[in-house]
Amino acid sequence: MMPAVALGTWLGNSSTGRIAPVGYETEQAVLWALEAGYRHVDTAWSYHVEDQVGRPVKTVVDAYNLLHEITTTPKLWNDAHARSAVVPALRASLAQLQLSYVDLYLMHWPLGQFENGSYDSTHYLETWRGMMDAQALNLTRSIGVSNFNKVMLESIRAHQLTKPAVLQIEWNINLQQPGLLAYCRQHNISVMGYTPFGALMDKRRADSPTRIDDPQLTKMAAKYGKNVQQILLRYAVEMGVIPIPKSITSTRIFENIEIFDFQLDESEKWTLRNFDRGYRTIPQLKWSDHPFYPFEKMPEYTTTTTTAAASTSTVNTEKSTQQVISEVDVNDKSARMNFRDIKI
């Protein structure tokens, strides 16, 4: 069991790299989130804000005895992929977070990279064994992965290692990955979705196939008295994805959790499914030549009116949304309602 929405604490990237905190904006954001009712905070060593996450969590836990009600999810960075490095890395994060254990610890990426920029060729299965070591030491209750593809998940299963409790991936209406979601549902792996708004609001991304002012989206928002962001978050929840909206603005933080007082109808979900373009907002092409790069090695985006065809590479074996939809009798209401349960 885990909270259905999490606060993201990644501050984003700029033209010069990852944005670092300049003050206590993340600490204040976490306090606002806890006040608004969030009970899940997603963070990572590489965000350089674990201390700002830990202080407000500790304050609220101590004041209201909420130790077992707030989930904190840090992530292992790529420079600690040796099996022997995993536990020390988690201990360092725990020190920053002022916690003796966390509920969930994720491997941030399946690929390793040393601090000097050179690649670490440690196999992700060896790193995963280090994650299992951390769980055995009760430093984390559950372990999971981030940015893994289906082949990598299958590799963990084939080697009879501990099943990941969670897969965290980019998920939004332009990148819905139905095959991967279906696989996770089949194997009882919870899915967390980062970048739940994709590039819909990023004016710098001229290649984004959808914008926040899309008439179909604004019409839905008006119907429910919500904004488009709330529609997108609600859709994620209804598709079985735990969205991770990030914000350091109080109004946005409070709005992003106000999504449990309405429900999308089937025609609206059908409309939202058709926005899938296989468009990846964060492809991390700088790592595309790493042997464990998890994404398709092909042109990433399409802005045509039809859904991009799925990659035929061994890295990405899932079907596109349009292909899955074509296998469903669109006149069969029960089939449409069970769309997310389709096994591929």
Closest by CA position to 227, among listed 195, 201, 265, 206? 201
* Rounded Cα distance, 239 and 265, in Å: 12
* Residue of 47, 105, 279, 293 marked catalytic: 47
Catalytic: 293?
no
Q: What is the DSSP letter of 223?
A: H
Task: Give yes or no for a contact between 219 and 247, defined as CB atoms under 8 angstroms apart.
Answer: no
Both tokens of residue 168? 């965290």
27 within 8 A of 54, measured Cβ to Cβ: no
Nearest residue to 107 (alpha-carbon basis) of 165, 36, 67, 21:
165
Distance CA 319, CA 304 (A): 18
How far is residue 127's CA from residue 112's CA, in Å, rounded to a whole number? 9
- Taking the C-alpha atoms of residue 73 and residue 30, their distance in angstroms, rounded to an integer, is 13
Q: Which amino acid makes up residue 145?
A: V
Of 258, 182, 250, 247, the C-alpha closest to 4 is: 258
Burial class (CB in 10 A: 0-12, 13-18, 19+), 302: middle
- The CA distance from 28 to 34, in Å, is 10
Within 13 Å of residue 47, how many CA atoms lie on the same side as its CB? Answer: 26
**328 alpha carbon, distance to own chain's centre:** 27
Q: Indicate which residues carry an active-site annotation.
A: 47
